[in-house]
Amino acid sequence: MSTALFDEPGPKARRRIKVATVAGALAAVALVALAVRQFAANGQLDATRWQPYATWPMWRYLLDGLWSTFLAAVVSAALAMALGLVLALGRLSHRSWVRAPAAAYVEVVRVIPALLLVYVVLFALPRYGLDLLLFWKLTVPLTVSNAAAYAEIFRAGIVSIERGQTEAGLAVGLTRFQAMRLVVLPQAARRVLPSIVSQSVGLLKDTSLGFVVSYGELLYSGKVLAAYNGLLIQTYLVVALIYLVVNASLSKLARTLEARQPSGGLSPWRMSRRSLP
Amino acid sequence: MKRFVAVAVASLLALAACGESSSPAVPGASPQQSEALAKAPVADAAEILPGSTMEKIRQRGELIVGGSLDAPLLSQQNPVSGEVEGFDAEMGKALATYILGEPKVKIVNSASETREALLANGTVDVVFQTYTITEERAKQVAFAGPYYTSGLTIAVKKGTTGIAKPEDLNGKKVLAGANTPAIPAIKKLAPQAEILTFGSDPECIQALKQDRGVAYVQDETILIADAKKDPSIEIVTKPFTEDPYGIGLKHGDDQFKKFVNDWLKKIQDAGVWQGIWKNSIGTVVTGEAPQPPGIGSVPGS
Amino acid sequence: MPVLFEHLPELWQGLIVTVQLTAASFAGAAVLGVLVCALRVSPVGVLRAIGTAYVETFQNLPLLVLLVLAFFGLPEIGLQAPPLATAIIVIAVYEAAYIAEALRSGVNSVSKGQGEAARAIGLTFGQSLRHVILPQALRTVVQPLGNIFIATAMNTALAAAVGVVDLTAAAHRVNLVEAQPIPIFVGAGVAYALIASVAGFVTGRLERRLVILR
């Protein structure tokens, strides 16, 4: 919040704000009411159409899907972070033959849609005899694409650590590798933690591509349910609600972590890469 | 650090491994067997030839079937019981009963483009998934059967006029499921139709009701079920294609193909096939079970 | 390779749709993003809350879910648009949340003194945003906005879920017929890379032109 932009409102302004708030709220309520009425007029609010979602088995089925979502997200996040760290160190290497391929990987992967990668794993690889299990058909493309994003986050974190830290490490007789491992990385890791969490929320959203692979994650479970009960809109509304609650909690965690840091976050990359699906 | 990495990798692999076995596949052993399945025959020990695919399956203790989870009446997962139900699913269980003596089936969800690969590398033993027999496909997989014949038909919103045959779709917006045989069929019979595809049947129905297309081309069985659930939809033609569904097997495994064909013959003679039909498709289609198609009657089978 | 030339018309049509989707939804997202950002830094509590709710909602839902929900759900409340238009609107609304956040961090990066100086010479909230804060904020956010543009281009691939035949969907369809995934998907990948590199080039130029020497 940049408070420098305005003064504490005076009595007149406060009154105006109050009036505007009430008017705005009324307008919003009216719009929502109109939408809900139309929605109900189309029979979408009928009790029979919502009743299944008041029963435990439906929720259990969706929560099973959520569990698979978590599993896919956790596995691909872990693999992508490991690969990302290697890539980040590669890009910061002093040897050009290490630096170039790492940079090329990051620059190329970041301009390929994750869906296209999924298609490659789904259709191209089996033709060449590599038919992965369903779980990996989702996690491999996600790992490949998110590794580039994590690499950039790690790199930003490492670069943000003052040179003096490495130099001090070298001065006390550590090798370059030791200085990186014992001095720079632990500090960098703490600094990039919020970005890592945000990126991981993005990755969790990406697992919805399981819909295409027919891996039983949350969105695909919604698809199976909709085929079973024919309640397309209700089912997807419930699915959306689950995603919202889970991801909002994770985002909240990221903000809490960020608030605990002395020096703000680092960010351009985080903002952009989070906007994957 | 090294130790940490090693532990992390190990636990990850463990996690991933358990993910595989539990999530994409659906454990099948059915607690309450349907009446039809109770009558399903079991193979004589002599028929399970040593070194054959059947023996391998028997040693494993379960039949791995490539199928779907979201095809109502054919192979649809029931979220309440976790059980996969429908004509294709029951056929899989009947085959498992024949080989193992009990309907132990694991369904591997296979997107339609990957079935050939799944069979070729042995991930699944058989495919029961509205797998139309074509000579093109028969070059990559072997087909037992056909075990059922279906066809495409056209559904519209009640009251729509001017659509009575596939050719009437020319110049109109037509809905179809992504990657279904409807797409090439429409292209052939009504080349000027504009095709709009969606990922699943409920989405196509919703799109039809919202006038995003005037007609929806889909397998007759599925459309009959849809029309039953939703009175605002009607079917306007008899099936205009003939799609013989085969049981996908590994290419070149003639021994297993003969075994499966023999089984198919037996369950048809014993009335099990008809019972399975009654339990699934027969719940929406009135009348007696149809005559099953002749085994090996189609080029490619 | 010949397979690409044989199907050039379809793939070209797909590319055009992808470019349309990207350009239109990014333009929409930019306008909407500025508005949402203004809400988030405004003096009125309710407006701030609305801005926050907007960002929280759209950053925490998968785009795929939003697309399907909007495409099938909105007609039920009386709002129906063709597939392409629906996809453009949904992607614009979704990316606007990210643009708003990028702009906000830009606004926060402008030193406090600038805002105070603006108010000291009598500019209102809107004026100081428009004449003093945003022009400076824009400079620091050129790069992040470029990244959001690239992400937008990548995300348009999901429009296929609501029946839009974009480049990815076109490539998929061609592959179903031809079964030559490698040249087809690599070709599509190169096309996306070209779109992204245009963005990289433009942001590079912009950054150089907007740079302030202090």
Q: What is the ipTM of this complex?
A: 0.84
Suggest the residue from C10, C64, C68, C72 to mutate for an interface test with chain B (most B CBs closer than 10 A). C72
What pLDDT was estimated at residue C186? 87
Residues of B in contact with A224 (CB under 8 A): 69-70, 76-77, 79
Phi, psi values for residue B152, rounded to 5°? -85, 145
pLDDT at A150 exceeding the cut of 90: yes
Contacts of B196 in chain C (CB under 8 A): 83, 163
Tell me whether B179 touches chain A (CB under 8 Å): no
Q: How far is B24 from chain A (nearest CA, A)?
A: 6
Least confident of A196-205, B2-11, B286-295, C94-103: B2-11
CA distance B280 to chain A (A): 14
Cis previous bond, C75, omega within 30: no
- Closest by Cβ to C80, choosing from B198, B203, B210: B210
Burial class, A21, CB count within 10 angstroms (exposed 0-12 / middle 13-18 / buried 19+): middle
Question: How far, in Å, CA of A240 to CA of A233, rounded?
Answer: 10
Interface of C with B (CB under 8 A): 68, 72, 75, 80, 83, 161-163, 176
pLDDT in tens, B49-61: 888 888 888 888 8
Give the per-residue pLDDT at A261. 64
Whole-number pLDDT of residue C211? 67
pLDDT for position B10: 52
The set of chains that have 3 or more CB pairs under 8 A with A is: B, C
How far is A136 from B256, CA to CA, in rounded Å? 30
Q: Half-sphere exposure of B160 toward its Cβ, with a 13 Å CA cutoff?
A: 23
Pick the residue from chain A with its C-alpha nearest to C195: A111
Query: Among C10, C162, C178, which would you mutate to test the B interface (most chain B Cβ atoms within 10 Å of its Cβ)?
Result: C162
Considering the domain delimited by A55-273, tell me its CATH architecture.
Orthogonal Bundle (1.10)
DSSP for C92-149, written as a single string? HHHHHHHHHHHHHHHHHHS-HHHHHHHHHTT--HHHIIIIIIHHHHHHHHHHHHHHHH
Q: Which two tokens stand for residue B111?
A: 């997107």
Q: What is the mean pLDDT of chain A?
A: 84
A5-14, A164-173, B143-152 — which is least confidently predicted? A5-14
Fold of B152-235: D-Maltodextrin-Binding Protein; domain 2 (3.40.190)
Could you tell me the pLDDT band of residue A276, with boundaries at 50, 70 and 90? very low
Give residues 175 to 234 of B whose Cβ lies within 8 Å of C.
179, 196-199, 203, 206-207, 210, 212
* Residue extent(s) of CATH 3.40.190.10 domains in chain B: 25-150+244-283, 152-235
CB B120 within 8 A of CB B250: yes
Q: Sign (positive/negative) of CA torsion A215, A219, A220, A221? A: positive
* Overall pTM surpassing 0.80 (yes/no): yes
SS3 of chain B: CHHHHHHHHHHHHHHHHHHHHHCCEEECCCCCCCHHHHCCCCCCHHHCCCCCHHHHHHHHCCEEEEECCEECCCEEECCCCCCEECHHHHHHHHHHHHHHCCCCEEEEECCHHHHHHHHHCCCCCEECCCCECCHHHHCCEEEEEEEEEECEEEEEECCCCCCCCHHHHCCCEEEEECCCCHHHHHHHHCCCCEEEEECCHHHHHHHHHCCCCCEEEEEHHHHHHHHHHCCCEEECCCCCCCEEEEEEEECCCHHHHHHHHHHHHHHHHCCHHHHHHHHCHHHCCCCCCCCCCCCCCCCCC
Decide if B113 and C80 are in contact by the 8 Å CB cutoff. Answer: no
pLDDT at B52: 85
Predicted local confidence at residue C212, as pLDDT: 61
pLDDT band at C183 (very low <50, low <70, confident <90, very high): confident
Calculate mean pLDDT across residues A250-273.
Answer: 61
Residue B6: per-residue pLDDT: 53
Distance CA B249, CA B128 (A): 10
User: What pLDDT score was predicted for residue A270?
Assistant: 39
Q: Give the side-chain half-sphere CA count within 13 A for C118.
A: 25
Rg (chain A; Cα; Å): 24
Best mutation site among C46, C60, C192 for testing chain A: the one with the most A CBs within 10 Å? Answer: C60
Using one digit for the tens of pLDDT, what is the confidence trace for C115-153?
888 888 888 888 888 888 888 887 788 888 888 998 899
Q: Pick C150's closest partner by Cβ from A7, A21, A111.
A: A111
DSSP, res A7: P
- Intervals of chain B under pLDDT 50: 1, 4, 12-32
Report the DSSP beta bridge partners of residue B142.
B249
Q: C87 pLDDT exceeds 90?
A: yes
**Top-confidence residue, A89 or B122:** A89
Mean pLDDT of chain C: 86
Q: What is the mean pLDDT of residues A166-170?
A: 90
Provide the pLDDT for residue B63: 92
Handedness of CA A188, A193, A194, A198 (dihedral sign): positive
Superfamily classification of domain B25-150+244-283: Periplasmic binding protein-like II (3.40.190.10)
The arithmetic mean of pLDDT across residues A7-19, rounded, is: 80
Mean pLDDT of C46-61: 90
In chain C, the domains with their CATH numbers are: 19-165 (1.10.3720.10)
In this predicted structure, the answer to whether residue C4 has a pLDDT above a threshold of 90 is: no
* Nearest chain B residue to C174, by CA: B179
- Residues in chain A closer than 8 A to C102 (CB atoms): 268, 271-272
- Choose from A123-137, A194-208, B150-164, C88-102 the range with maximum mean pLDDT: C88-102
Domain boundaries, chain A: 8-42, 55-273
Res A3 pLDDT > 90:
no
